[in-house]
Structure 1
């Protein structure tokens, strides 16, 4: 852990230097091809940074915030597009706007979403605490494989959302601005289109649409967001596992993309009446959960990522307990 913390400090210093270069040097270069060329070293650095971290959490978080989010935002910045243009008033704001999902334009409606769901957040914290208790007592070792796969899939989603909520709360206190909501209760989706368009990874419209979707749609009109998702998740899997991909995650997103396209065509052609919202929600959640347990989690278990993830969570709990008792 001491070695990992040293690596983390080096990564943080590298990020500060890289973002400083973007803010003080690249921003002075005229937008377009020349600024894009000046940012290429930063793109490469952010692609390599997760490889210097062995912790599952540090690796996945750096891959999401730097390799994926920051690189796409800097790509937009190269052509003087939002959210980094116009240039933020200070380096600290530019750093946070680059690496985190911060909203440049405040939208009160999205704030109401989070205000209404505080009790939902509390229930997720309780459920996550229960899962950690389950891990701590080693009850999970006696569970059947399918049951543990289901629990672990829920764990990954809840922890990811809680991390984003924590980051959002910290940035809100630090800068006084809201973060872009990444999830909007995806388990309440009434259709696959609703899941991918409005409830899962809401950063897609603001980041991937101008950088990936619009250019690709010029050549392939039926391209959709779920097909872009496998680019990010395959990278995250590689960073965590450090082995050649087995393409299960790719199959997951391709399958979801095909099903979403079929759903859109069925709606357009009105081949069948729309089911009741309760039925459609149950069907969507069941499909998403089953495919995640089938294609998402097994690769992690085969490479013992679940053991590393659980041990890191329990280590943090032990540190917090030791600190509380010491005080």
Structure 2
């Protein structure tokens, strides 16, 4: 393990950070091009044709990185979020189409998982809530993340299924911390309060609650106008408004599954096994069944909140163990990610030690 850490440190120092900087400089200049092109070109196919090279570039850029953390976050920010927002902008839709948007806001909103508040009242409410809860909330999650990293030192003595449960919490806490850092950066750049990206998903009472109102809300806000609503409007004329949600929901989960397959490819660079797509298809089908049951019951019968939470979180975790995590573990993304964290920790320790020596010698 120590040799792996040293190799990761050497690799990061020799090239990965430089590649990361080059990738994001390319993204920055590409978004500048989109910003000024959008002011000159009419919306529709003309603007779309001008943006397609940028979309292709954003699909290519994550391949220039090899570390799990840098390639994964870059793929999520550029290949997924930025590309979907650029495609919406081509038709003058989405957050990038806001009137009089500045270049700095355009770039931040395009490539970061953020959405500015629409009203001063909402902004004040969320800001107040964050002021009281966020610092303690993120402090607790940072401590839990450190505890999880420590637990991995004893994984030889822990049952594999328990390790999978720990992986669930690891991925959730890691995502929340990464997205919180990105939001904080944008907050400092834009000087505005931002909407949260997660809403305590472990308290979900149904799949609708989990996917629609609690888990990775930026993705939900992106997929709704780009996939869900167009399919909903199209299918309303075929099956009627009451049941048009069925194909709209399934289409959204199909797209989400395919994009996740792409993200997993960036992480492991191995041929897709389509297990992740099946995970989202299963959840899409179960969510459709849940919607049908709710329509038929029409509020006459409801599960106790704690029962709904246990069933929902349990279903997400069990299906995750079955379909979502196996390809993630086969490409050893977890081991590589831990090695990268250890490498950063070792680098920081060496840096602190060197600074102490320098101060003592002064």
- Shorter-chain TM-score: which interval? over 0.9
**Deviation at 1:179?**
3.0
**Deviation at 1:219?**
4.2
Deviations 1:211-243 (A, max 9, x none): 211222244421214443213211101111111
Q: Secondary structure at the match of 1:81?
A: coil
Which residue is 1:149 aligned to?
164
**Deviation at 1:193?**
0.8
**Deviation at 1:89?**
4.5
Contact 1:102 1:178 in 2 (8 A): no
Contact 2:268 2:331 in 1 (8 A): yes
Which residue is 2:272 aligned to?
245
Work out which of the residue numbers 297, 302, 309 in structure 2 matches 1:274: 302
Which residue is 1:29 aligned to?
41
Contact 1:88 1:94 in 2 (8 A): no
Contact 2:207 2:312 in 1 (8 A): yes
Contact 2:85 2:110 in 1 (8 A): yes
Work out which of the residue numbers 186, 196, 214 in structure 1 matches 2:211: 196
Contact 2:197 2:215 in 1 (8 A): yes
Contact 1:196 1:226 in 2 (8 A): no
Which residue is 2:256 aligned to?
229
Q: Structure 2: state its 5+ residue gaps.
A: 1-11, 236-243, 356-362
Which residue is 1:264 aligned to?
291
**Which stretch shifts more, 149-158 or 203-212?**
203-212
Q: Within the alignment, does 1:47 sit opposite 2:59 as a pair?
A: yes
Over 3 Å counting, the alpha-carbon distance change for 1:8 and 1:205 in structure 2 is closer
Q: For the residues of structure 1 that align with 2:311 and 2:175, how far apart are their CA atoms?
A: 23
Which residue is 2:21 aligned to?
9
Which residue is 2:329 aligned to?
301
**Which stretch shifts more, 85-94 or 30-39?**
85-94
**Which stretch shifts more, 222-231 or 1-10?**
222-231
Q: For the residues of structure 2 that align with 1:7 and 1:238, how far apart are their CA atoms?
A: 19
**Which stretch shifts more, 147-156 or 55-64?**
147-156
Q: Secondary structure at the match of 2:302?
A: coil
**Which stretch shifts more, 35-44 or 17-26?**
17-26
Which residue is 2:318 aligned to?
290
Deviations 1:173-206 (A, max 9, x none): 2221233322111111111111111111212453
**Deviation at 1:112?**
5.1
Q: For the residues of structure 2 that align with 1:112 and 1:212, how far apart are their CA atoms?
A: 33
Q: For the residues of structure 2 that align with 1:171 and 1:41, how far apart are their CA atoms?
A: 26
Q: For the residues of structure 2 that align with 1:88 and 1:143, how far apart are their CA atoms?
A: 56
Q: For the residues of structure 1 that align with 2:230 and 2:169, how far apart are their CA atoms?
A: 34
> Runs of 4 or more off by more than 6 Å in structure 1?
none
**Which stretch shifts more, 68-77 or 228-237?**
228-237
Q: Structure 1: state its 5+ residue gaps.
A: none
Which residue is 2:176 aligned to?
161
Which residue is 1:132 aligned to?
149
Q: For the residues of structure 2 that align with 1:208 and 1:57, how far apart are their CA atoms?
A: 24
**Deviation at 1:7?**
1.4
**Which stretch shifts more, 139-148 or 103-112?**
103-112
Over 3 Å counting, the alpha-carbon distance change for 1:162 and 1:55 in structure 2 is same
Structure holding more helix per residue = 2
Q: How many residue pairs end up in the alignment?
A: 325
Q: Within the alignment, does 1:103 sit opposite 2:98 as a pair?
A: no
* Root-mean-square deviation (Å): 2.0
Work out which of the residue numbers 349, 354, 359 in structure 2 matches 1:321: 349
Q: For the residues of structure 2 that align with 1:187 and 1:158, how far apart are their CA atoms?
A: 11
Q: For the residues of structure 2 that align with 1:134 and 1:204, how far apart are their CA atoms?
A: 31
Q: For the residues of structure 2 that align with 1:277 and 1:234, how far apart are their CA atoms?
A: 33
Contact 1:226 1:253 in 2 (8 A): yes
Contact 2:19 2:65 in 1 (8 A): yes
Contact 1:93 1:175 in 2 (8 A): yes
Over 3 Å counting, the alpha-carbon distance change for 1:207 and 1:285 in structure 2 is same
**Which stretch shifts more, 115-124 or 75-84?**
115-124
